[in-house]
Chains A and B, each alone.
Chain A
Amino acid sequence: MNICVFIKRVPDTESRIRIQQNAVAEDGLNFVISPYDEYAVEEALRIKEARGGTVRVVSVGRDEAAAVLRKALAMGADEALLVKDEAPETYDGLRTARIIARAVERRLPGADLLLFGKQAVGTDNSQVPAMTAELLGLPQATVVTKLAIEDGTATALREIEGGTEKVVLTLPAVVSAQKGLNEPRYETLKGIMAAKKKPVPAVTLEELGFGPGEPAAAVEVTGLDVPAARQAGKVLQGDPAETARELARLLRDEAKVI
């Protein structure tokens, strides 16, 4: 199995988000591999351990994205590729998918399985995996909690409202990982040392055949705000039966939600 995993560098989930000039202020943020992408890396490593093959990890972004590629190498990935994209966040998933699809066609030959996180924490777009699948003409299973590979097919369980869908795909295919798929391993000291020695080659958008300004974003940001903070309300205390009665009354007569 020849597996490619696409990972993104994002602010960790404990971050407080501040806005400056219609963009998220990056200073003071701690950046990590997007948590769902970590499940994708882990799944790739498990498939490789069971069936052999190679795991290549790919990130689209600025030079700083090399840090998440090193983390994936330390977990056990064989090779890394940084697709250098200097553009600030465009929030346009199709732009990213076009870059990834081109990178797959030109620089990542022979992939049987393209693994992604179900969404990048932050932009929360949940669209790059399915878009990449469509651009490459591949089948997809998104938001996957269980994946089984057998000769030329992938069987995936994906979360739907109130249940699970079993999706059968002919390889090559695109799969996006949901929490629950596995428990990602910690990198070992040996892995970290080995990862330091591995190269992280980079390719530019120009080298992938894109002209200046390509691929263009079709999303225009007109506003970016932090939502108004909620106000603390009434706190009741005392006898459980009395506070419960008063709360029920408030929900019915004041908040009118029941």
Chain B
Amino acid sequence: MIAAYLEIRDGKIKKSSLETLAEARRRAADLGDTAAAVLAGASVAGLAGTAAAAGAAKVYVLEDPALADYSSQAYAVALAVFAAETKPAALFFPATAMGKDLAPRVAARLGVALAADCTRIEVRDGALEYTRPIYAGKALLTVRLKSSPQLASLRPNVFPAGPPAPGTGEIVKMAAAVPDGAVKGKVAEILKEESAELDVTEADVVVSGGRGLKGPEAFALLRDLAAIFPRAAVGASRSAVDSGWIGHQHQVGQTGKTVSPQLYLAVGISGAIQHLAGMSSSKVIVAVNKDPEAPIFKVADYGILGDLFEVVPKLKEELQKALKD
């Protein structure tokens, strides 16, 4: 069995978790094995149907009052209980903020290795092989895990979500057994950004700005452009962030986030090596820059050589038209 941990936010299973489950299904099929889903929380059984419809042959529901608020300690106890009782061959997590916080904790509890932030998983000679970018994507590392169960976290937006499953998965309730007093830290509150922007790692389209924007004001142009797409986010180069023009959570690159959207629009970004590392796995890259020598043009599938202040508003108009057609 390959199990996928499904992260719940705002009472829903996140898209990246459904991608994780879909990959568990595909790799389990390669191995002639089955895929399962794992849900954890105080009261999450209501989501089991969604997990089953997404193709889990079994849906494990771990419920305990101690899991009401996210705590890596409590959730690690619950998932370790699950792993000890069901002995999965592998347990996949989404490499989200929660998954990256939780998966290593579970791995340490089980005494096993973790392949973090994977972008490809394959079966070769009957064994799972995990490929993950290192140096923010300047190199790709492929590993096998010699401990069991094999733990991996999967980068959001990279693995396709699967087709709906016709069958109905069996729902198995398990006691999470979090001992009293075991939890010394937990989430007290979640503060949403006012605009509730999509994170750059989760967006299908990322519109990023750099030094060429000349100041914080021009990010409004990029936000306008991003707003025409259904799942878009605004990114930035390190120099724009370090100049204080936009928050660091928008930074794409080696000391920021690594993104793999369908479409990456680099506006006024010259393309320093640290930035290119963070976005080169995007499906299609578009650059808007007035410097023909800018390194960004060496990696861009399409470029517009011109003044971004003139080009971006026109681009918004034209893309809007193209989207409507």
Binding site for B on A (CB under 8 A): 11, 13-17, 19, 24, 35-36, 91-94, 97, 121-135, 138-143, 145, 155, 157-170, 173, 178-180, 217-227, 229-230, 232-238, 240-241, 243-245, 247-252, 255, 257-258
Contact = CB atoms under 8 A, between A and B. Distances in A.
A167 B284 contact: no
A252 B274 contact: no
A243 B304 contact: yes
Interface string B92-103: 000011101111
Contact of A230 (B76, B191, B299): B299
B186 A247 contact: no
A83 B307 CA distance: 53
B139 interface: yes
A222 B143 contact: yes
A97 B107 CA distance: 11
A159 B262 CA distance: 24
26 contacts: A17-B139, A91-B143, A93-B104, A124-B135, A126-B100, A131-B107, A139-B73, A140-B73, A143-B97, A160-B97, A161-B199, A162-B198, A163-B193, A164-B191, A173-B185, A218-B145, A218-B146, A230-B280, A232-B300, A234-B301, A237-B304, A241-B314, A247-B304, A251-B302, A257-B284, A258-B319
A173 B185 CA distance: 9
Nearest to A175: B185
Contact of A227 (B96, B255, B280, B306): B280
Given A162-B192, A162-B193, A180-B247, A243 B280 contact: no
Nearest to A183: B242
B113 A92 contact: yes
A222 B144 contact: yes
Provide the main secondary structure of the chain A interface.
mixed
A139 B97 contact: no
A116 to B, nearest CB: 12
Interface string B77-104: 0000000000000000000111011111
Q: Which one of A121, A168, A241, A251 has the highest number of Cβ atoms from chain B below 10 Å of its Cβ?
A: A251
A175 to B, nearest CB: 10
Contacts, number: 303
Contacts of A161: 9, 96-97, 198-199, 201-202
B19 interface: no
A233 B301 contact: yes
A31 to B, nearest CB: 13
Contact of A126 (B117, B190, B198, B321): B117
Contact of A121 (B185, B201, B255): B255
A138 B76 CA distance: 12
Given A24-B139, A134-B109, A219 B146 contact: yes
Contacts of B30: none
B184 A138 contact: yes
B299 A232 contact: yes
A176 to B, nearest CB: 9
A130 B189 contact: no
Contact of A139 (B185, B197, B249, B297): B185
Interface string B237-249: 0000000000111
Given A227-B133, A240-B310, 19 more contacts: A16-B273, A130-B101, A131-B107, A159-B97, A161-B201, A162-B197, A169-B185, A180-B248, A222-B143, A224-B140, A224-B141, A227-B140, A232-B300, A237-B306, A240-B311, A243-B311, A247-B315, A248-B318, A249-B322
